[in-house]
Amino acid sequence: MKQVKRLYTQTEIAYKLGISKGTLSKWINKNNVSPERIKGNKKLYKETIIADYNKDKKTNKEDKKQSFSTIEFLKNEVERQQAEIERLNEKLDEKDKQINDYAGQFAKLADQAQQLNLADKPQLMQKNEVVSDENKETKQETSKNASESAKSSNKKSWFKRIWGK
């Protein structure tokens, strides 16, 4: 005897699955399930659609268990950020060590420069005395010239001082 496969409407299948007709319609559209036959305004589907829906629902539950939740994602992100902070702190410590090394080298160079400055000081003092003696003579000559010109300009009338005649 031939087994007659019965065809069901969306409403009947949704009732058997215990879901709403809208949920079933969304699942049918998502999985591109086409009706076996259309009778009037009714789309008729095979009974195998029930097994397919249950199988798909079961695999989705397993996928959700394996996928990360928002909290797990945030925990992983916090751990990643903490690892980045630790790495940056290590780099900062290395830079501080380099800065301290450079500061020590700079201090040594400054001490050496000061020692060289003190060693050359007696020679500079002698040169400064010679230069200062020459400067005194030139300053005296300049002041004499300035006073003489001032005296001569005082003898001229205001008209001659302004117009140079």
pLDDT at 30: 86
Q: Which residue has the tokens 């006073």?
A: 147
Q: Are 21 and 62 in contact (CB under 8 A)?
A: no
Q: What is the pTM of this model?
A: 0.36
Map residue 95 onto helix, strand or coil: helix
pLDDT at 87: 92
Question: Quick one: which H or E segment has residue 158?
Answer: helix 158-163
C-alpha to C-alpha distance for 97 and 105, rounded to whole angstroms: 12
Exposed/middle/buried for residue 13 (C-beta within 10 Å: 0-12, 13-18, 19+): buried
Which two three-digit tokens encode residue 62? 């397993």
pLDDT at 137: 65
pLDDT at 1: 47
Map residue 24 onto helix, strand or coil: helix
Residues in a beta bridge with 37? 44
Mean pLDDT by 10 residues, the chain (165 residues): 70 88 88 80 83 83 66 88 93 92 92 81 63 64 64 65 72
C-alpha to C-alpha distance for 86 and 97, rounded to whole angstroms: 17
